[in-house]
Amino acid sequence: MADNDIILDVRSISKHFGALKAVDKVSFQARKGEIVGLIGPNGAGKTTITNLVTGELRKTEGEVYFKGINVSRMQPFQIARIGLTRTYQVVKPLQGMTVEENILVGSLFGRSDRQNDLNHAKKTAHEIMELVGLDKKKEFKVSDVTLPDLKRMEFARVLAMDPEVIFLDEVMAGLNPSEVEESMELVKNIRTEKQLTIVYIEHIMKAVMGISDRIIVLHHGQKICEGSPTEVCDNPAVIEAYLGKKYAKEVIKS
């Protein structure tokens, strides 16, 4: 793809907490309409990178460009309103409100370059609820729906903001196998329907390998591998990071 297909350009970002290098000079790009998997063991720096890119943490060094705009010093709400958004590893519903009202908030406070009046926001919220399969639960209080529905709702709330890039942070955590399958199909369908770019953070390997066009692997805050799902699966450094040195040596010998 040409350079003008690059919508997100992360350049050598780092985050140090004293002597701890939580993220250390990580660079990657995402292209329009691509699903990029971001994987690594616990503590590898995946959520920290999400926080750095979306402005929730200050970078020790490095820059982030979104659609050619340097967003490195923008506030999170400013970054979200130009179309770069994220979900959270632990769902954050607005308590005391219905499913529809939660999604409506996303629609009302979405991208600033579109119509944001109440009627338009309600229309958008209804379309998104139907797309993710929550239209029959729109009047439920968030305290009365299941975890899978809460995860769908959080995804829907972000979609209602009309983003161009979404960081999905472990949206399948806590789901059973059939729910994982449903979520995989949902992510793929929404990528196509909304022409989104998705950076997909996930521990469930079946899911991330099954829907990603390209995968980036982190370990101890550094990028150790980048490539297709097949290339990543066959990489000894990745195998070592997940399964240990002994297993990696056996793979190399074979």
- CA-CA-CA-CA torsion sign (76, 81, 82, 86): positive
Residue 245 confidence class, pLDDT cut points 50, 70, 90: low
Q: Is the pLDDT reported for residue 2 higher than 70? A: no
Question: Cβ(10)–Cβ(26) under 8 Å?
Answer: yes
Average pLDDT over residues 26-51: 94
- pLDDT (0 to 100) of residue 252: 45
Token duo for residue 133: 């399969």
Query: What is the predicted pLDDT for the residue at 1?
Result: 43
Whether 22 shows a pLDDT value over 80: the answer reads yes
Over 60: is that where the pLDDT of 246 sits? no
Q: What is the mean pLDDT of residues 125-130?
A: 92
Backbone angles phi, psi at 68, to 5 degrees: 80, 0
- Above 80 in pLDDT, residue 244? no
Beta strands (DSSP E) in the chain are: 6-17, 20-31, 35-39, 61-66, 69-70, 84-86, 165-169, 197-201, 214-219, 222-227
Residue whose tokens read 């780092």: 14
- 214 contact partners, CB below 8 Å, separation of at least 6: 34, 35, 36, 37, 226, 227, 228
Rounded to the nearest integer, the mean pLDDT of the chain is 89
If we measure between CA atoms, which residue out of 85, 116, 103 comes closest to residue 154?
103
Pick from 159, 169, 149, 172: nearest CA to 98:
149
Band (pLDDT 50/70/90 cuts) for residue 99 is very high
Two structure tokens written together for 230 = 């097949």
- Three-class SS of 61-77: EEEEEECCEECCCCCHH
Backbone angles phi and psi of 24, in degrees to 5 = -135, 100
Q: What is the pLDDT of residues 194-226, one digit of tens each?
A: 889 999 998 888 888 889 999 999 999 999 999
Indicate if the pLDDT at residue 159 is higher than 50.
yes
Q: What is the pLDDT of residue 183?
A: 86
Q: Which residues pair with 223 in a beta bridge?
A: 218
Q: How far apart are CA 67 and CA 221, in angstroms?
A: 25
Q: Is the pLDDT of residue 250 over 80?
A: no
Longest dimension (CA), the chain: 63
Structural domains of the chain, ranges and CATH numbers in brackets: 3-226 (3.40.50.300)
User: 144: pLDDT confidence band, cut at 50, 70 and 90?
Assistant: very high
Residue whose token pair is 């119509």: 115
- With beta carbons less than 8 A apart as the criterion, state whether 33 and 43 touch: no
The residues that bridge with 214 in the sheet, in sequence order, are: 36
